[in-house]
Chain A
C-alpha cells in the first residue's frame, strides 16, 4: 500500500532522486531542506513516513527527529545518511529513528526500509 512520505534533505539533488525512487510506490507529500522545515511540514502534512537526512544546516536530522518524536511518539522516521559510523547511528536511534538507509541509495533498500517501518507500526 502506498504511504505518504515526507522527504527531508538539504540537497535538491537527493530530494529529487528519492522522489524518482519512490515514484509509483509511495506518494511524496512534501519536501523539506532543513530540520526546522521538517518539523513544520510534519505538523502540517502528517505523513506516514519521514526520510530524514542527518547533516543539514539550521537544524540537523537527529535534532529534528527528536522533536518530531516528541510531537508524535508514533512517527516513523528513517534516517538517510552517508555517515555510516556506529556512534552516529546510535545517536539516531536514541533520537527515535525507526530505521536507516545509507547513501548512495539503492531503490530496493529504500523501499524495504519503508516497508519495515510501516510493518512495525502496524
Chain B
C-alpha cells in the first residue's frame, strides 16, 4: 500500500470535515457550541495510542464500522469533560457516579450521533455504504482503553504494529469541555481511501513506518543522553508522526508555560526542533546538573540550553545516519513562554512554503515524574518527502 502527501491532505480535510459534522451534531443535540480545534493524521503504534489514553485517564465510547470501510472510532473525554457534558445534557446527573447508568447512556448516545455523522462523511466521499455497531462505553475500570479496538482496527494487532489514526481535537469553549475523536481504519481500508484519492508520487506505507521507527530510535538515543548527563533514569513514553494543517501546529501544545530551547536544523530534512520542559522539570534538570548552584541563573540557563543541544543531537543523529546524510543544527536558543507561543513562529516560517506540516513529537520522562521533556520537530515537508523516499523499500 502506498501513501502520498496528497492522500494525507485529502485524509486530513475529510477527517476535519467529518469532525465538523460531528461537532455540529453535538451543537444540535445539546445546544452546546462545539468547534474542531485541530485535525491530525497520526502514525504511531497501538502502544503509543494506549499510553496516551492511560496517561490522560480517559473515558471513552467506541463504535466499530464495517462495509465500504472497516475499523473503529473512539470518542474520548477526560472524566471532568465527561461530567460537564453530561451536566449540560442532563443537569444534576453525575457522569462518573457508579450508579450513573443514565449518564453512561447519554454519553453513548452523544457518541452514536457524533461518530455516526463522522463516518457518514467518509462514506459519502467514497460513495459507499458503511454500517456502524452499537456504542460501547469504556472507563478506567476496564482492562485497556483500546481493548475494543481489536485486530481488525490494527494491521496485526500487536503493540508495536504501526497504525494510522485520524485524530480530531474538539472543544465546547463555553462549557470547558474538550474531547478527542479518533478513527482507526484497518490497513485494507486505508488502501481503499488512498485509491480513491489518487497516488501521484505515492510512497509505500512502509516508508512512513520506517520513519516512525527512526523517530522512536532518535527519542531513545536522546533519552540515553539525558540519563548520561543527569544521572537520572529516563524512558521514552511516546513518539509520534502527525500530519497536520500548519495553523493547527501551535494548538498541538497546551498553553502551559514551557522552558527549553529551539534549534534550526538543515540538510535532508531541514526544519525546526524544540526541546521543552515544564517549569518544575526545568528546575529539576538544572539542579541535577548544577548541584549547589541554585543562585546562578545564567549558568542554570546555560545548562538547560546544553541539555537541549545534546538531546537534539541524540534525536537527529540517528536520522542522519539512517538517511546517509548530514544534518547540521544551529546553536540552541533559550525559550521561556507558553508552549503554543514558542511553536507559533516556527510554524509561521514553514507556512510560507507549505499548507500542512509533519509534526514529530516525543515525550521522555522519569518514572517518578521528576521531569518530563517534550521534543517537537517540524521538518520541511518537501525535504521530509525526499527523506521518506530514501526509506522506501525500493530505494
Query: Chain B's nearest CB lies how many Å from the CB of A34?
Result: 9
A55 at the interface (CB under 8 A from B): yes
A70 at the interface (CB under 8 A from B): no
A57 to B309, CA, bound (A): 13
The interface bits of chain A over 12-52 (1 if a CB of B lies within 8 angstroms of the residue's CB, else 0) are 11101000000000000000000000000000000000000
Residues of B within 8 A of A83 (CB): 313, 317, 328-329
B345 at the interface (CB under 8 A from A): no
A108 at the interface (CB under 8 A from B): no
Contacts A83-B329, A85-B317 known; A11 to B229 CB distance under 8 Å? no
Query: Chain B's nearest CB lies how many Å from the CB of A35?
Result: 12
Interface centre among A56, A83, A106 (most CB of B within 10 A): A83
Query: Chain A's nearest CB lies how many Å from the CB of B108?
Result: 51
A19 to B302, CA, bound (A): 15
Among the 9-residue stretches B130-138, B189-197, B318-326, B352-360, the one with 4 or more Cβ atoms under 8 Å from chain A is B318-326
Residues of B within 8 A of A82 (CB): 225, 309-310, 312-314
A12 touches B302 (CB 8 A): yes
A103 at the interface (CB under 8 A from B): yes
Within 8 A of A (CB), among B128-156: none
B305 touches A103 (CB 8 A): no
B310 touches A103 (CB 8 A): yes
From A16, A55, A86, A88, B330 is in contact (CB under 8 Å) with A55
A106 to B227, CA, bound (A): 12
A74 at the interface (CB under 8 A from B): no
B331 at the interface (CB under 8 A from A): yes
B327 at the interface (CB under 8 A from A): yes
Query: Chain B's nearest CB lies how many Å from the CB of A104?
Result: 4
Across the interface, name the chain B residue whose C-beta is closest to A58. Answer: B331
A57 touches B331 (CB 8 A): yes
Residues of A within 8 A of B257 (CB): none
A58 to B329, CA, bound (A): 14
A104 touches B225 (CB 8 A): yes
Within 8 A of B (CB), among A79-96: 81-88
Residues of B within 8 A of A81 (CB): 313
Across the interface, name the chain A residue whose C-beta is closest to B221. Answer: A84
Residues of B within 8 A of A11 (CB): 302, 305-306, 309
Residues of B within 8 A of A55 (CB): 309, 328-331
A10 touches B313 (CB 8 A): no
B173 at the interface (CB under 8 A from A): no
B299 at the interface (CB under 8 A from A): yes
Residues of B within 8 A of A12 (CB): 298-299, 302
Residues of B within 8 A of A103 (CB): 225, 229, 306, 309-310, 313
B102 at the interface (CB under 8 A from A): no
From A10, A16, A104, B299 is in contact (CB under 8 Å) with A16
A8 to B331, CA, bound (A): 14
Query: Chain B's nearest CB lies how many Å from the CB of A38?
Result: 15
A10 touches B331 (CB 8 A): yes
A84 to B310, CA, bound (A): 10
B384 at the interface (CB under 8 A from A): no
A108 to B76, CA, bound (A): 51
Interface centre among A11, A13, A88 (most CB of B within 10 A): A13
A88 touches B326 (CB 8 A): yes
B303 at the interface (CB under 8 A from A): yes
Residues of B within 8 A of A10 (CB): 331
Interface, chain A (partner B; CB < 8 A): 10-14, 16, 55-57, 81-88, 103-104, 106
Ranked nearest first, the 7 interchain pairs of A and B with the lowest CB-CB distance are: A82-B313, A13-B302, A104-B229, A87-B326, A12-B302, A13-B303, A104-B228
With A11-B306, A103-B306, A103-B313 already in contact, 14 other A-B pairs whose C-beta atoms are closer than 8 Å = A10-B331, A13-B302, A13-B303, A14-B306, A16-B299, A56-B331, A82-B225, A82-B312, A82-B313, A82-B314, A83-B313, A83-B329, A85-B327, A104-B225
Pairs A–B under 8 Å by Cβ, sample size 25: A10-B331, A11-B302, A11-B305, A11-B306, A11-B309, A12-B302, A13-B299, A13-B303, A16-B299, A55-B309, A55-B328, A55-B329, A82-B225, A82-B309, A83-B329, A84-B317, A85-B317, A85-B320, A85-B327, A86-B321, A87-B326, A103-B225, A103-B309, A103-B310, A103-B313
